[in-house]
Amino acid sequence: MAIHALDFGDYTMAICLFKRALSQLNGCFAQIGSEAAEASAHVRAGRDDLRQRLFDIREIWLRVISDCREDTSRQSEDEA
């Protein structure tokens, strides 16, 4: 949904949706570090790779959020 908001130029909505997604991403970090995940051999085997991929996604989303904030502040300045 955040990507669609970007396509429509609704940067404020995109920021909101990406922040919601970041909340879920943080939940994933918590789950892979939990005791239940520790009990799963599959999770233990792929945990490092999974963390790296999640951090990469997080970094991309944070950059997009930053760009959206710049665009919204630029639009505000243009309107003033």
Domain boundaries, the chain: 2-79
- How far is the C-alpha of 55 from the C-alpha of 29, rounded, in Å? 9
- How far is 61 from 50, CA to CA, in rounded Å? 17
- What pLDDT sits at residue 39? 84
Note the pTM of the prediction, 2 decimals: 0.80
| The predicted structure's pLDDT at residue 11 | 92
Q: From the CB of residue 51, how many other CB atoms can be counted at a distance below 10 Å?
A: 14
Please tell me the predicted confidence (pLDDT) of residue 80.
58
Cβ distance 60 to 14 under 8 Å? no
pLDDT value for 43? 79
Sites in the chain below the pLDDT cut of 70: 80
- Reference 51, options 75, 26, 72, 68; nearest CA is 26
Torsion over CA: 47, 52, 58, 64 (sign):
negative
